[in-house]
Every structure is written in structure tokens, then in C-alpha cells.
Structure 1
Amino acid sequence: MDTLDEELASLRRESDRVAESLLAMEDHPGHRLLRGAVLTGGSARRWEAANAGMVRLWEWFDVYRAVLRQASDTRDPAELARLLRGAAIALPEAAVRTLTGTAAPLVTLGDLVARMKAEYARVTAVLAEAHEAWSRRLELLDPLTGQLAGIDSAGAARLRAEVARAHARAVADPLTPDPEVAGLVARVASVSALHRTFSSRVQTLSRLVAEVESVRAQAGEVRARVVAEIAGDHPPVPGEDVAGALDGLRGRFPDVAETDVAAVEAAVGVALTRAREVSAHLAGSLERRSELRGRLDAYRAKAAGRGFAEDAGLAELHRRARDVLFGVPCDLNAGTVAVRRYQRAVLARTEGR
């Protein structure tokens, strides 16, 4: 009897722990979320099953306590053993139809507790998943409204509406992942960052546009000289209207997209690079002519220093090279060839080559 009494006392203590767990389940934030929302989709289906499981848990707990009360009231050891250890509990929801009607299977208290634990685990898993999913979704969605604050544009208004719809989806179906949230977060971040940085980016663009115009102006002056003095085809100075593109951005703000600003930044960057390349190419033609003239003078001085100042052959080669380099327009290719001929002739005489 002592063993049965001890077993009964243990089951009573367990009953108190079960009651505490069921009350905690009722107060779970996931339960409050699901029962208070108009659910749709997968969340509605899973909550229906979980809610049925919660009802079943309370019904089983009532059966469990009723058996313990019967066990506490009996004075018959055999009856106590039957209640605590025997298959004495009928579960109506598990009844099966037989030839003569329906029969509910009989289970032991241990079986009932095992069923309750399994059902409790299933239910609380759904509650925990709902709360965690909802919390994660809120962590993403809640800051978006603040990020869009103060941005008065049609694009921002559309994003606010999308945020509201995503929030409503999160409430109605927290257990179903929302693939649109990540993209929404990225787009809001882009708009917010653009709004914060637009002024500084425009200032940077203004400086670059001014530099483009300055380089182009210098290139234009150099080109006019090159065209007049150097023979050949020379690249035109680029003329893309980057200043107009920048003015267009200013005029459309705040209804501009990141892609709009990035496109103008790219265009200005390309224009500046191209202007510098053309300027360098044009200036290079004049520098090449100066370099050839300097080399010609250097080798003439070398020839004179070695006693070949009156060499007729060298004088003729020098004259030809000088005529090309100081002619207008100057043919740089011909000038290069002429200077090399003179250079080889000087070296042949002065160094025995």
C-alpha cells in the first residue's frame, strides 16, 4: 500500500506541474497572437490544429484529475492499483467503430500522460514558431516606417503602402514565410539612404561636372592648336550634356531613384575620364613634337662636339628633319622617321657604328 500511496502522491505533484504548464501555454505570447488575429493561409490551418490540441489537452487533464480524485477516495488497494496502473481510462476522441457500435480504447494513466506530453510539445512548438516568426518579421518591418519618415515622394508613398500590406500579412499569416519582405527592406533602405545622401552626392557631382567642363575647355584650346600645327586626324572633344543630366536630377528630387543618381554618376565619371583621355592625347601630340625637336637638337650638338659640324651628309639629314618638325602642319610620323635617320647617322660617325 505504501508503494501505491507514494505513487499517488507523485502523480498529484505531477498534476500540479501539468496545470502550471497548461496555464503557461494559455498565456504564451504566440497563443495571444494567434487567437487574436484573423488568420489566413497556412497559419489558419496550423492554428486550427493547434487550438484543437489545446482543447484536447484540457479535456485530458480533466480526465487525469478525475482519476486521481477517484484514486484518492478509494480505500481498496486493488481498485487503487487498477486506477493508477491499469487501463482504466477511456478516450472518446480515439473511439473506433465496431460491429456492435463504437468502442473507446482504454489507456493507463501513464499512457495518458505520454499522450499529453506529445500533444503539448506539438502545440507549444506552433506557438513558439508563431511568436518567433512574428518577432523576426517585426524586427524587419517596424524600422521601415521611421526610415521613410520625412520623404515626401510618390515612391516613398508606395513603399509605405507596401510596408502596411507586409505588416498585415505578418499578422494574418505569421507561420508562412513572406519572400517579399527582404526585397522591401532593401528598397526602403535604398530610398532612405538616397534621401539622406542626395545633397552630398549632388555636391560631389557638381564638382565633377565643373571639372569635366574645365578639362573640356582646356582640351578645346589644345585641339585648336593641334589641328592647326599637327597633321592627322585628332579626336573631338566630348560634348555629352552632363550638366543637364545633373540639373534633371535636382529638378526631380525627391522623386528620383537610386538607379537615376547612379546613372548620372556613371555618366559624369565616363565623361571626365573621356575628357582627360582626349586632352592627354591632344597634349601628347604637342609633347611628342617637342620631344622630337629636343632630340634633334641634342644629336646636332653631339655631332658638333665630335667635330662633325660641317659634315654635309649630316647637315642634309638635319635639314630634312627640321623642315618636317617645324613645318605646319607637322607630320609626326615623318618627323619620327627623319629624326631616327639623323640619330643613326650621328652615332655612326661619332661612335663608329
Structure 2
Amino acid sequence: MSIEGVDFALRRRTEERDRISDDLLDLDSHPGYQLLKGARLTGETRRRWDGAQAREVTLWWLFDAYRGVLDRARELREGKPDLAALTGLLAGPSVELKPENVPVEKRSLLRAAGEWITLDTVVARMDAAYRDVAETVAAVDAAWSALLPRLDEADAVRRSAADLLRDLDGADPDLERIGAGIDRIRAAVTADPLGSAAPDGTIGGELDGLLADLAARRGLLEQAARIRAEYGDRAHRLGDRIAQVADAENEARSVRDTVLVKIASPALPALPDQAAALRDRLGALDTVGDRWLELVERLTGLERAVDEALARARTATESMAGLIGRRDELRGRLEAYHAKVVRLGHAEDAALGEMYGEARALLWTAPCDLRQATVAIAAYQRAISRIGVAG
């Protein structure tokens, strides 16, 4: 190697050393690396990190050896240049790896002697070790980044729920259970982020379930706070709604009595009778006192029950009133068919007159047999159709 070649090689190697030094410092200052250094790790993360630390030791040893060769080469260059020695340092196998310096995975029981390698080989091995350490740090950091923000969000919701609970002067075992689950998952994620974030693991699904439970619990506490402020008005409105249920049930009974008189053998729905029980439930709310979470469940459950009872009473009324409507609809059809007979000039037709009279008697007799009346009108309609075709 010429003196110019030596100078060029020294400049290139010095730049390379500085670049590697910057990369190593960047790795050391990486937030994920700093967290790993101070964490008590377990499971898959500890296994990966132990291996990465072993390679990091080798990486720094190789870097120190690399710098040592450059320092010796610079000292030789500053004196009377020994081109052969400089060439050997910069281009030849100038770094000795003693057996104890060789990484475990590269050792052999058959090799007792050390190994001499070139600076290029040193850089290649440093690069492989660096990539392995950096990949481990990046994987752990990605796992923490995926899970810890969700846990932080859960803690924020949990604190909000706890504040609501304190305002209500109550206790909530479910909120305590959810909080204990979140604490347990945080401990697992902190100690073994790689195992926790594994696609086939259960942490993600369990965290989803706890977050859903927590959101529901906070919603219930918010509802309890609203009910505490609105309880008097809501209880009053419930009393009004229960009165509507009673009116609707009375109307259903009245319609049922009418149908039983006017319609023969009607198929009637069960008669609704919930108003009295709903009034009792409303009165029982006052016994709950300041147990607001319990009151939420009772009050909202009663509100649903009142809405359902009112809907059932109205549906039953409509169903039973439909039988009277069916009779009236058949009456209208019969009169329309009779008017058609008159228009066709068959008002004096004895057979048609008899069919009309039979159908009319069925429809205007109480109780009315809707099935027989329907059959009679259908027969009357067919007879009119035949006359119309013949005419």
C-alpha cells in the first residue's frame, strides 16, 4: 500500500469509526433501550434481551479493538511511515479474537487458538451484532407502544370512574375487579412486552374485554350521577307513565268486553295487567336510599318495564279492536257487492237475494261469526261474478 493509499485508508476508517460511534450512541440513548436496561424482564422479552446484551458486549469489544488498530496506525503514520506495518494494520488481519472473545454461537470445541480478522470483517460482525440488538430494541419498543398507551387510556378512564364513585359516596366491587385486571396486565406488559404482544397471546383480547367493562362501568356511574340529580323528576314522570299503562289496560279490558259481546268465539290475547305491580316497584325505589348504583339498575329496569307494559297494552287493544274492524270491513264489502247487483239489473234475483240476506244476518247479529260471514260473502261475490260474465 502506498503512502497515499495509507492516508486514504486512514481517513476512510476514521470516518467509519465516527459513524459507528454515533450509531452506538444513538442506540444507547434510544428510549426503548433505556427502558430495557432498567426493567425487570421475564419470558420471551428476557430471553431476547439477554441474547442482545451478550451480542452488545461483543459489539463494544469489537469497536474498542477497531479503534485500537486505528490508533496504532495513526501513531505509525506520524513517525517514519512503515508501509508494510501500516498495510498489515489497515488491510490485513490485524484484530485478534481470543477464544474467550469469540461469541458463544461462533465457538467450536475443536478450535483452541484465537482468530485474526481484518477491519472489514470487524465492521461486518459489528453490523450484524448492532442489527440484532437494534431489532430487539425496536420489537420491544413497538410492543410497548402498542399496549402501554391503551393501558394509560384505561387508567385515565379508571380515575374518572373512581372520581364519580367518590362523589356518589359508594363502593363498586366490579370497578375494583376491573382495576386489578388492568394492573395485572400492565405488570405483564412491562415485564414481557414481546410475550404480551404475541399474536397467539391472550393479553390483547383480555385487555379489550377489560376496556369494554370499564367503559360500561363508567357509563353506569355517570348515569348514577345523573339520576341522583334528576331522581325526583324521573320518578314523577314514571308515575305519570304508569298511570298511562293503567289507562291503556283499562281500555284493553273495555275493548275485550265489547268484542266478547259482538264477535263469536274470538281469539283474544292475554289481558295485560301490570299497572299495580309497576306502582309497587316505583314505591320500592324509595327504600334503596343513597345506594345510587343499585338505584340505577332498578330505575332503568322499571322504565323499560313501564315502556314494555304500555306497548303490550296498546298492542292488545289494537289486536282486539281489529276484530271489530274486520266485521265493519266485511259489512262494507257486502253493501258494495249488493250495490253492484242493483247496477247489473239483478235486484230481483231470488238466489242472490237469499245469499245477501244470509250474509247480512251473519254480520248484523251479535255475536258475529266472522268465519261464517267471510265464507258467505265470498260465495256471494262468486255468484255476482258469474252473473257479470253471463251478462
Structure 1 and Structure 2 fold alike (TM over 0.5): yes
1:336 is displaced (CA, Å) by 1.6
Residue 153 of structure 2 corresponds to 143
Task: Name the residue aligned to 2:35.
Answer: 33
Matched, 1:82 2:88: yes
**What SS does the corresponding residue of 1:234 show, helix, strand or coil?**
coil
- Equivalence for 2:49: 47
| Cα distance per residue 1:271-293 (max 9 Å; x no partner) | 77765654443222111111122
Partner SS for 1:327: coil
Q: Which runs of 5+ in 2 are unaligned?
A: 166-171, 198-202
- Matches of 2:242 and 2:96, distance apart in 1: 86
1:170-185 map, 5 Å? 170-176=189-195, 177=197, 178-179=203-204, 180-185=206-211
How many corresponding residue pairs?
A: 345
- The residue number in structure 2 matching 1:222 is 255
* TM-fit CA distance, 1:165: 1.4
Change in Cα spacing, 1:311 to 1:215, as seen in structure 2 (3 Å) is same
**What is the Cα deviation at residue 255 of structure 1?**
6.4
The letter of the residue matching 2:176 is A
Q: How far apart are the structure 2 equivalents of 1:33 and 1:108?
A: 35
Of 205-214 and 72-81, the range deviating more from structure 2: 205-214
Conservation of the 8 A alpha-carbon contact between 2:220 and 2:293: no
What is the match of residue 106 of structure 1? 116
CA contact (8 A) 1:299 1:343 kept: yes
For the Cα contact (< 8 Å) 1:191–1:257, is it kept in 2?
Answer: no
Identity %, equivalent residues: 36
Unaligned ranges ≥5, structure 1: none
Whether 2:184 is the aligned partner of 1:165: answer: yes
Contact 1:155–1:255 (8 Å) recurs in 2: no
Contact 2:223-2:296 at 8 Å conserved across structures: no
Which range moved further: 326-335 or 277-286?
277-286
1:344 positional shift: 4.7
The 1-side partners of 2:214 and 2:352 are apart by: 76
Q: Do the aligned partners of 2:185 and 2:207 also contact (CA within 8 Å) in 1?
A: yes
| TM-score, normalisation: structure 1 | 0.81
The separation in 1 between residues aligned to 2:108 and 2:325, in whole angstroms, is: 103
**Partner letter of residue 15 of structure 1?**
R
> What is the deviation of 1:218?
3.9
Give the drift of 1:167. Answer: 1.4
Question: 2:18 aligned to 10, 13, 16, which one?
Answer: 16
Tell me if the contact between 1:212 and 1:272 (Cα under 8 Å) persists in the aligned partners.
yes
Q: Distance in 1 between matches of 2:243 and 2:130?
A: 71
- Which of residues 67, 70, 73 in structure 1 aligns to 2:69? 67
SS of match in other structure, 2:356: helix
Which residue identity is paired with 2:63?
A: F
CA distance in 1, matches of 2:134, 2:295: 48
CA shift for structure 1 position 70: 1.1
Partner of 2:331: 293
1:56 and 1:209 mapped to 2: Cα distance?
81
Q: 1:238 offset after TM fit, Å?
A: 5.1
1:41 CA displacement: 0.9
Classify 1:243/1:30 alpha carbon distance in 2 versus 1 (closer, same or farther; 3 Å). farther
Could you say what secondary structure the match of 2:190 adopts? Answer: helix
Contact kept in structure 2, 1:154 and 1:255, CA below 8 Å: no
Counterpart in the other structure of 2:293: 254
Q: Which amino acid aligns with 1:10?
A: R
Structure 2: distance between partners of 1:281 and 1:341: 27
- Verify: 1:231 aligned to 2:250, yes or no: no
| Aligned-pair CA distance for 1:76 | 1.1
Partner amino acid, structure 2, of 1:138: L
